[in-house]
A and B are shown apart, each in its own frame.
Chain A
Amino acid sequence: MNFNDYLSKVSPGESVLIEHTSLSLHALAFYAIGEKYGWDRVLLVDVIDSSVPVVRWLRLSGLSVPENVTRIKAGGISNWGRVILEVDPHKDPGIFLSKFSRKLREVYSKSEFTVTVIMNPERLVPLQNENINFILTLSNLASAFLGDPRRITFYFVNREMTESIYPALLEEAFTRVLCFTGKRNLRVLKSPEIEEEGSEIELASETATTNNSRN
């Protein structure tokens, strides 16, 4: 199945985990999400500028992401997008996580529908020195919003850059888990439709090209 078509199966309220690698073309998945739901509905939660190499790779590939995507920054130095909140992930997690969750609630209540994309939250874990309480609090924050029909959430997690228990906690909570098996191929590891588990999804090159030429 094509990744674009697969997105149509995801219902409001669901949380989808996308496990990628450093060499996978997950940038194309990010692009497909923005194009599918509309970039104006996207809320990008960006951990230490993790979206910057993604947007850069897309630009060099001839695919453009609008400049005004709504963005919450957790660290990093890039000011791209429309930044509505900036938190310091090196500081006390109690403070920045509560600021962050307050802002999420505010965005969800003000907009009709939000597609939240969280880019590489696993990189917060070393910043907090692998603190186990922090890992549980962080993953629980993701669980807490599960089922809220005002949003769909996609987490991008680089499985090569985490050895912690964090992805397992997300996998348990999330309704869908997709894992890159090649540069542009994903496998469904978990789904509410159990029979589709194990099936393959492809990020078709023509999809991305077609979508872009529409702009």
Chain B
Amino acid sequence: MDTILDALTNTKEGIILVEYPSRGHPELTFLEIVKSWKQKGVTPLIVDIWDTLHVFLQNLKFKGIELSVEDVPVIKERGIVNVGKVIGRVDVIEDFEYHLAAYGRVARKVPEDSRRHTIVLGMEKFSFTFIDDPPKLERYFETITRRYLNLRDRTSFMFLNTDIASEYLRKGLEQDSDYVLRVNGKRIQLLKSPGVMVNEL
């Protein structure tokens, strides 16, 4: 397994942005993370925006890899294909206050064991309708993404397609993440991480 992913799936705390291009293979990174956590007895929560989880699983399937997510709690935000153990849906995205309230109601149903490990798939699809609208993106950062910076002792991977994300969205998320990874096929680069020493992970 990749040493960067190995270290990150062992970390107790971190907001990790995973950037990938449309023709990359983010599903392989996703697979490594889920497998690595599984080995450690961790069942993460997956936040599936539109049907990105379905897309990742199908891309794995045609590579001959079956990944079972039957026991993995999933919160669905929009989209129509239910995979995993869907514990609730949030269909309102653009009204952020309403979204947070609805998400909060569903999040209460997340099993205790899955609350400290999260994978968010399809970040760019959440912001899709306002991706070129910096005023609205700023409200999104202010009310939603920066809220999670105040939580401790949890690890979250956020997958972002950088061919779809606007520069403003990508730069905003990079600024606020503890770690930034760029993946393309099997290549993984670490662009940002905590630590004052050079080359520290």
Contact = CB atoms under 8 A, between A and B. Distances in A.
Co-complex (A, B): yes
Interface residues of B, number: 32
B13 interface: yes
Contact of B142 (A48, A61, A129, A184): A48
Interface string B184-199: 0000000110111110
B171 interface: yes
Nearest to B172: A161
Interface in B169-188: 170-172, 174-178, 180
A95 B192 CA distance: 38
B178 A77 contact: no
Interface string A52-77: 11001100111100000000000111
Given A57-B178, A129-B135, A49 B149 contact: yes
B15 to A, nearest CB: 8
Interface in A141-191: 158, 160-161, 183-184
B192 to A, nearest CB: 5
Contacts of A123: 138
Interface in A112-136: 123, 126-127, 129
Contacts of B137: 126
A22 interface: yes
Contact of A53 (B13, B170, B171, B176): B176
Nearest to B177: A53
Interface of A: 21-23, 28, 48-49, 52-53, 56-57, 60-63, 75-78, 80, 90, 123, 126-127, 129, 158, 160-161, 183-184, 205, 208-209
